[in-house]
Amino acid sequence: MRPLALHGHSRALTRVRFNKEGDLIFSAAKDSSPVVWHSSTGQRIGNYDTNIGVVWDLDVDYATTQVAAGGSEFLFIWDAETGKTLHQIETQNSTRCCAYSFSGQQVLYTTDSTMKLLPKICVVDLRDPKQIEAPSNSGYYHEESVNEKPSAVIWGPLDKTFITGNEKGVIKRWDIRKPGEILTKSEENTGAITDLQGYHDCTMFISSSKDCTAKLFDIESLEKIKTYQSDRPVNSAAISPLREHIVLGGGQEASEVTTTAQQSGKFEAQFYHMIYEEEFARVKGHFGPINTIAFHPDGRGYASGSEDGYVRIHRFDPKYFEYEG
């Protein structure tokens, strides 16, 4: 399995995402320019320019018509094909997470707590110019009374609910029609939630956490289904759409690593069996903690982004599909 190593960022990666078809991969980093690539060749197609420093999160809609990215005090929305800026939404605080609804008509974002302002969760209907242009973030769902900073978000089925994970390790499920109302809550994690990713049929999702675990949850009840124990903080986790496999990415913080060897910081991607919770493989390559990871939509490969500034795209060898685990 020889990967494509893509170097289009000057700083650490924060997010990699495939579009629905899997022919494109979008990456964001702690620099000001998200990049789009051909996933099969690694060819760089172009950048989406911003006037902000760090881009914390990025998402692409279901039809690959729009791209959203958040950082600093703005949420940017571009035309995916041309790179033209469609909207620049002022968010007052640094935008930490963003996610398109399945319809692509709404975008959800969260903000950090700075300048004596509480973290916020906001959903904007992109069909309503008033919600986009209002500097006070007057989306139709606007919840300011969030005490803990949301650190990861995903949408629930049919755009009726969404799920957040916060820095205290708490996962909450919210009703899009009732701002402030928490439908269900899970406190299974003891460390900050670093990522949430859903399964392709929207029946479950996986969380990753600084407590060195990834956990599989039912998307409606938030009941914990499985736990995948790692030996390092887990920054990102994804579910294979093809096989009963889970991939985890993480590693020691860069400031804690005292040598340059790949093994010293535990920078490998780890593969687990979804049902048996057992680790069965590791993939080396990065020279820094893996910050973000995603399976290809066809399940025949995955992409990872690291503190080393590289995106690595892997396509599985035939032996992977012969493995009976």
What is the separation of C-alpha 12 from the centre of its chain, rounded to a whole number of angstroms? 14
List phi, psi (to 5°) of 318: -55, -30
Structural domain including 260 reads 4-322
Confidence of residue 2 (pLDDT cuts 50, 70, 90): confident
Burial 94-125 (b: 16+ CB within 10 A, else e): bbbbbbbbeebebbbbbbbbeeeebbbbbbbb
- For residue 143, pLDDT over 80 is answered with no
Q: What are the residues facing 37 on neighbouring strands?
A: 25, 44
Q: How far is CA 325 from CA 204, 218, 276, 280, in A?
A: 21, 23, 9, 8
Contact between 249 and 288 (Cβ < 8 Å):
no
Domain count, the chain: 1
CA angle 90, 197, 231 (to 5 degrees): 115
CA pair distance 123, 143, nearest whole angstrom: 9
Alpha carbons within 13 angstroms on the beta-carbon side of residue 154 total 22
Contact criterion met (CB below 8 Å) for 144 and 95: no
Q: How far apart (Å, rounded) are the C-alpha atoms in residues 36 and 17?
A: 10
> What percent of the chain is predicted at pLDDT more than 90?
77
In the numeric block, the tokens 């759409």 are attached to 241
CB atoms within 10 A of CB 158: 11
The two structure tokens encoding residue 87: 């909207």
C-alpha triplet 102, 104, 105: angle, nearest 5°:
120
Q: For the full predicted model, state whether its pTM sits above 0.85.
A: yes
How far apart CA 78 and CA 86 sit, in angstroms, is 5
Which range among 98-107, 129-138, 223-232, 298-307 shows the weakest confidence by mean pLDDT? 129-138
pLDDT at 302: 98
| Segment 28-72, tens digit of pLDDT | 999 989 999 999 999 999 999 887 889 999 999 999 999 999 998
Residues 6+ away with beta carbon under 8 Å from 194 = 151, 152, 165, 208, 209, 210, 233, 234, 235, 236, 250
User: What is the CATH number for 191?
Assistant: 2.130.10.10
